[in-house]
């Protein structure tokens, strides 16, 4: 099948086509600040690992955002909307709990907008991410994602407490604020629609807060209700045991007090949840680097693994778009490190890809 009209086959280095003279200098293609570089990320077609498959798989490379992940989008939108509504006062501190990507987004947005940033991180925050956050000037506290909100050590409880006790601190609450999915509704969805010339048939993304899949899925389904929205997770969790798959499969909405997942996961928009074992995801991550030249984060490899499986049963009319939230940068000490693999029962992957 012919590639979609937006696919560029030009694979040699050349300067982008820009007009040489601008009647209005404000139209010149330079960014006014780093904030103007958030979003509008590229989409690339997989060509090697997809050999022989009937359908095409594209990857939306959101690691090309200035902070290295898709979370720059939500950080920018959450901050701008909270400033506009008056919730976030000038110079107030932003506190956030999470794996670090959103905090990096907040830290770079905060640097420009005058908001200091605190991250409540789990013990799994990678040393490289921690150093990057400190470079941006962020403060780091420790909290536990595995304890209930009622426990004072829970990472959301710590963030909420700081915001309650200090009027100059504002908790962004990314797992519940509608400005998180709205950021994707306003940017990621329209970008994918335009970049595939409206030919996208399947959208795949991993879920943590649910912002990506809910916001992008809402936009794409409004454009074409036949588009399938598929979310992905590891067999090992975190979403396997909390009834999310059953809620997605059911037609009735789950009452708020019965949900064990973030409010921003809109189960009515998601057509299915696909789980894959961590081992197979890591292996594909190495393969994508070696065969496609794409060094991707683990959730990106996870969704591509699902897309490869579904594409086997697909038709030439199907166009899969996989969302890549971040790059291999933050996994180099663990899943993309041969010694770590050896020590964690994954020596077969280490042996296959290392001499
Ligand atoms: C690497 C990575 N992938 C996927 C996600 C899921 O994105 P969302 O929070 O929009 O569900 C996140 C969010 O934390 C992430 O950091």
* DSSP symbols for 214-255: HHHHHHHHHH-TT-EEEEEEETTBSSGGGTHHHHHHSSSPPP
Q: Residue 155's domain is classified under what CATH number?
A: 3.40.50.1100
Domain termination residue (choose one: 171, 195, 223): 171
Query: Does 184 lie in the same domain as 158?
Result: no
Domain extent, residue 260, equals 36-66+180-350
One DSSP character per residue, 249-266 reads HSSSPPPGGG--S-TT--
69 touches 328 (CB < 8 A): no
Query: Does 123 lie in the same domain as 235?
Result: no
**Ligand 1 mean position, distance from CA 44 (Å):** 20
**Is residue 3, in this structure, part of any structural domain at all?**
no
CA angle 190, 194, 197 (to 5 degrees): 140
- Testing ligand 1's pocket by substitution, the residue of 299, 328, 336 carrying the most ligand atoms inside 8 A of its CB is 299
Query: Does 293 lie in the same domain as 208?
Result: yes
Query: Does 324 lie in the same domain as 231?
Result: yes
- Testing ligand 1's pocket by substitution, the residue of 59, 61, 71 carrying the most ligand atoms inside 8 A of its CB is 71
Query: Does 320 lie in the same domain as 262?
Result: yes
**Ligand 1 mean position, distance from CA 24 (Å):** 39
| Ligand 1 pocket list (CB less than 6 A) | 98-99, 101, 206-212, 297, 299, 325-326
Number of domains forming the structure of the chain? 2
Query: Does 206 lie in the same domain as 144?
Result: no
Q: What is the pTM of this model?
A: 0.93
**Ligand 1 mean position, distance from CA 326 (Å):** 9
**Ligand 1 mean position, distance from CA 103 (Å):** 12
- Testing ligand 1's pocket by substitution, the residue of 62, 101, 301 carrying the most ligand atoms inside 8 A of its CB is 101
Look up residue 125 and give its two tokens. Answer: 């925050």
**Ligand 1 mean position, distance from CA 27 (Å):** 34
Query: Does 206 lie in the same domain as 306?
Result: yes
**Is residue 337, in this structure, part of any structural domain at all?**
yes
Spell out the per-residue pLDDT of the chain, length 355, in tens.
444 545 666 677 777 677 778 788 777 778 989 999 999 999 999 999 999 999 999 999 999 999 999 999 999 999 999 999 999 999 999 999 988 999 999 999 999 999 999 999 999 898 889 999 999 999 999 999 999 999 999 999 999 999 999 999 999 999 999 999 999 999 999 999 999 999 999 999 999 999 999 999 999 999 999 999 999 999 998 777 778 999 999 988 888 888 889 999 999 999 999 999 999 999 999 999 999 999 999 999 999 999 999 999 999 999 999 999 999 998 999 999 999 999 999 999 999 999 7
Query: Does 346 lie in the same domain as 250?
Result: yes
Taking the CA of residue 215 as reference, the ligand 1 atom at the shortest distance is: 10
């Amino acid at each position: 099948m012919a590639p979609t009209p937006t696919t560029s086959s030009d694979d040699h280095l050349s300067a982008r086509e820009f007009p040489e003279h601008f009647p209005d200098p404000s139209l010149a293609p330079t960014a006014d600040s780093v904030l103007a570089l958030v979003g509008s990320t590229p989409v690339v077609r997989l060509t090697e690992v997809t050999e022989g498959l009937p359908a095409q798989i594209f990857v939306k490379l959101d690691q090309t955002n200035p902070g290295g992940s898709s979370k720059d989008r939500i950080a920018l939108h959450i901050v701008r909307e909270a400033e506009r509504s008056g919730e976030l006062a000038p110079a107030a501190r932003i506190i956030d709990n999470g794996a670090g990507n959103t905090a990096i987004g907040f830290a770079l947005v905060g640097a420009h907008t005058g908001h200091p940033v605190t991250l409540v991180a789990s013990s799994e925050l990678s040393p490289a991410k921690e150093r990057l956050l400190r470079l941006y000037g962020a403060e780091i506290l420790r909290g536990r994602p595995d304890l209930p909100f009622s426990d004072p050590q829970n990472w959301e409880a710590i963030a909420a407490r700081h915001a309650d006790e200090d009027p100059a601190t504002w908790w962004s609450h990314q797992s519940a604020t509608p400005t998180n999915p709205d950021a994707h509704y306003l940017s990621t969805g329209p970008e994918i629609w335009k970049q595939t010339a409206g030919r996208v048939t399947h959208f795949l993304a991993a879920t943590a807060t649910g912002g990506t899949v809910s916001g992008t899925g809402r936009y794409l389904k409004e454009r074409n209700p036949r588009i399938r929205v598929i979310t992905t997770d590891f067999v090992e969790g975190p979403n396997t045991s909390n009834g999310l798959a059953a809620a997605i499969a059911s037609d009735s909405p789950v009452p708020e007090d019965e949900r064990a997942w973030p409010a921003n996961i809109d189960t009515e928009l998601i057509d299915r949840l696909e789980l894959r074992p961590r081992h197979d995801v890591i292996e594909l991550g190495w393969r994508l680097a070696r065969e496609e030249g794409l060094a991707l984060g683990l959730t990106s490899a996870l969704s591509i693994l699902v897309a490869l499986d579904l594409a086997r049963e697909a038709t030439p009319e199907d166009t899969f778009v996989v969302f890549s939230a971040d790059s291999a940068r933050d996994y180099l000490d663990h899943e993309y490190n041969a010694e770590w693999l050896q020590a964690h029962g994954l020596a077969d992957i280490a042996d296959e890809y290392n001499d």
